């Protein structure tokens, strides 16, 4: 890895135009975008230091239901494990606008981790810097869209107007002592020498004067970038970083790549960014992100180790633990063949491959997945597997551990094995597929399979918990002012009609609010229990003792005669002291229909 010279030899002036440059030779819109070739080849030049940054909680949240503050902290813990002591995942960016966003940042900062550093993301608006300062962050991303598609067609500005507006905001950040990270949105459709390079040169002048690094994030917003040398600007990743370094004057350590997967090139483009002079590549866990997603961080880690030749103390088994968390806690279904974390990524269904794997797994395994990922090779079931092999397959695929495991003497396994043997007696030559085995498992081992009702229950619980954990972060609820609390709960009932009753008790278990409920129940039940003590109820005791949210078993409501669950979450003061408990009775049937 080398030190890269970044002194620009020429100053480029902004080229203001009356009409947007839309590069119709490349982007006709009615055809697949075309590649334009350049008549030169740029040499690879990997920076001395390369690393990863994370956008799981920013761009990653724009493609899925928002995480709760609790979930964000738990995922942040995985990022810390994956980062290692040297900070391979150096930073993670956060929204700063909602109460929940701020609570998540506060909780992550309380972890005290050096890596990944918590950074912000704001609009190009001076007022938003107060959010960064209030949270005590040293760096923030700033949206500075650079293509004429965005400047003219989205913002309704001229290049000159956007140019000076962006510079003004960056100058304000530097005055505040905050490191600005300029997100050059849609760079792969931008006029490089008419806007991007003049803008970047001005940013480097501001950076030098303030003696604060101004970072440049090259954002491939629609995944138009390509990793091949010889492809012209604005789409060629090698050309992009050659221009930013040699003409823009940006040091490698102040450059970052943010890609999207619209054309299946998100990982290889990120790796190419490293190979052609960019120190930092931005990604998200499991590739979450707007539309087709961001660069998967777990894949970037593997490529990082390939390039550096070092593991740098990275806990690679956290990749598996992280994926299991997303499936278990967030009900996210990972495709079975998804690289590194899919249920069958290191298995094969080809009979001839299965035979080779049984002789020596290195023949068909990408690396020692048992050691590096805590993922032994998948069990391939054939007529040679026997009951022990089938038992191992069932326990592995159903995630059964310890006492939960199916014993190989189970009569259901015997029946599955008889079916397998019959298949090969009848002339079968391929291995048994996972779909076939799962079907037989459901038939012969029904007690080990999660039912549709179980899945509905888990889903309902997740939704309900998400609601209560969000509301207890609101200032109105934390105020313990029953008037403010009741007003907010009335709003909540309108948004979430599956809430049958909502109420709050103080730290002694005394109910301090009315029951917030539907109009038809108000006359009879609105003031029921007001002033009474509920300190003997599980929904009060559990949050008070654990500091965590609580979900009850299912029960039939005595009031409405419908199937319900009660969810509750502790209300905490600014100092973290539990000052009350928020509870809600959920109409299960209405909730499931809403979902």
pLDDT digits (tens, 9 = 90+) for 414-463: 999 999 999 999 999 888 888 899 899 999 998 887 666 666 777 777 77
Predicted confidence band of residue 191 (pLDDT cuts 50, 70, 90): very high
pLDDT at 115 over 80: yes
pLDDT for residue 350 is more than 90: no
Q: Are 141 and 121 in contact (CB under 8 A)?
A: yes
Q: What is the mean pLDDT of the chain?
A: 91
Predicted confidence (pLDDT) per residue in 213-255, tens digit:
999 999 999 999 999 999 999 999 999 999 999 999 999 999 9
CA 5 to chain centre: 35
Q: Shortest CA distance to 55 belongs to which of 216, 215, 283, 269?
A: 283
Mean pLDDT in residue range 201-213: 97
Strand partners of residue 563: 556
Do the beta carbons of residue 464 and residue 567 sit within 8 Å? yes
- Give the three-class secondary structure for 561: coil
Name the most confidently modeled range: 6-10, 298-302, 490-494.
298-302
Mean pLDDT for the stretch of residues 533-539: 95
Q: Are residues 219 and 258 in contact, defined by beta-carbon separation less than 8 angstroms?
A: yes
What's the pLDDT tens digit per position in 455-491? 677 777 777 788 888 899 999 999 999 999 999 999 9
pLDDT at 85: 93
Q: Who wins on pLDDT, 60 or 389?
A: 60
Q: Which tens digits make up the pLDDT trace of 45-56?
A: 999 999 999 999
Give the pLDDT score at 593: 66
The pLDDT tens digits of the residues spanning 362-394 come to 887 889 898 999 888 777 788 888 888 888 888
pLDDT at 353: 47
Residues 6+ apart with CB under 8 A from 55: 92, 93, 258, 282, 283, 284, 289, 294
């Amino acid at each position: 890895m080398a030190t890269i010279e970044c002194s620009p030899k020429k100053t480029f002036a902004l080229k203001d135009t009356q009409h947007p440059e839309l590069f119709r030779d490349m982007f006709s819109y009615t055809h697949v975008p075309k590649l334009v070739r350049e008549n030169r080849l740029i040499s690879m030049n990997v920076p001395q230091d390369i690393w990863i940054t994370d956008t799981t909680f920013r761009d990653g949240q724009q493609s899925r239901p928002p995480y709760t503050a609790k979930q964000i902290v738990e995922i942040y813990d995985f990022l810390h494990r994956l980062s290692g002591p040297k900070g391979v995942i150096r930073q993670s960016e956060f929204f700063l606008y909602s109460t929940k966003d701020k609570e998540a940042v506060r909780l992550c900062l309380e972890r005290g981790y050096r890596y990944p550093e918590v950074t912000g993301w704001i609009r190009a608006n001076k007022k938003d810097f107060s959010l960064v300062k209030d949270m005590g962050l040293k760096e923030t991303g700033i949206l500075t869209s650079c293509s004429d598609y965005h400047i003219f067609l989205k913002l309704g500005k001229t290049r000159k107007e956007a140019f000076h507006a962006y510079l003004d905001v960056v100058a304000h950040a530097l005055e505040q002592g905050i490191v600005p990270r300029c997100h050059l949105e849609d760079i792969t459709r931008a006029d490089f020498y008419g806007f991007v390079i003049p803008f970047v040169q001005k940013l480097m002048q501001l950076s030098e004067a303030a003696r604060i690094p101004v970072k440049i994030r090259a954002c491939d917003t629609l995944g138009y970038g390509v990793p091949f040398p010889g492809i012209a600007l604005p789409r060629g990743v090698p050309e992009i970083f050659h221009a930013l370094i040699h003409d823009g004057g940006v040091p490698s350590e102040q450059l970052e790549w943010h890609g999207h997967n619209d054309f299946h090139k998100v990982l290889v483009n990120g790796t190419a960014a490293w190979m052609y002079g960019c120190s930092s590549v931005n990604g998200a866990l499991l590739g979450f992100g707007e539309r087709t997603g961001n660069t998967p961080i777990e894949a970037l880690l593997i490529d990082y180790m390939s390039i550096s030749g070092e593991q740098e103390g990275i806990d690679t088994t956290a990749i598996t633990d992280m994926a299991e968390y997303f499936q278990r806690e967030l009900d996210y279904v990972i495709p079975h063949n998804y690289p590194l974390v899919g249920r069958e990524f290191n298995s094969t269904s080809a009979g001839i491959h299965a035979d080779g794997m049984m002789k020596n797994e290195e023949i068909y395994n990408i690396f020692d997945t048992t050691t590096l990922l805590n993922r032994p090779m998948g069990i391939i079931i054939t007529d040679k597997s026997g009951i022990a092999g089938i038992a191992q397959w069932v326990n592995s695929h159903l995630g059964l551990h310890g006492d939960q495991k199916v014993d190989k003497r189970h009569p259901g396994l015997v029946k599955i094995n008889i079916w397998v043997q019959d298949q090969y007696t009848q002339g079968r030559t391929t291995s048994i597929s996972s779909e076939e085995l799962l079907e037989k498992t459901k038939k012969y081992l029904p007690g080990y399979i999660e039912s549709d009702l179980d899945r509905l229950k888990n889903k309902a619980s997740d939704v309900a918990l998400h609601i209560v954990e969000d509301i207890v972060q609101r200032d109105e609820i934390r105020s313990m002012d029953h008037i403010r609390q009741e007003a907010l709960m009335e709003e909540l009932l309108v948004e979430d009609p599956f809430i049958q009753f909502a109420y709050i008790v103080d730290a002694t278990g005394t109910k301090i609010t009315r029951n917030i409920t539907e109009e038809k129940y108000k006359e009879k039940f609105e003031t029921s229990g007001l002033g009474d003590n509920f300190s003997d109820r599980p929904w009060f005791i559990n949050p008070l003792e654990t500091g965590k949210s609580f979900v009850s078993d299912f029960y039939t409501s005595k009031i409405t005669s419908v199937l319900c669950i009660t969810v509750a979450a502790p209300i905490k003061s600014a100092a973290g002291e539990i000052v009350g408990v928020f509870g809600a009775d959920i109409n299960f049937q209405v909730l499931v229909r809403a979902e």
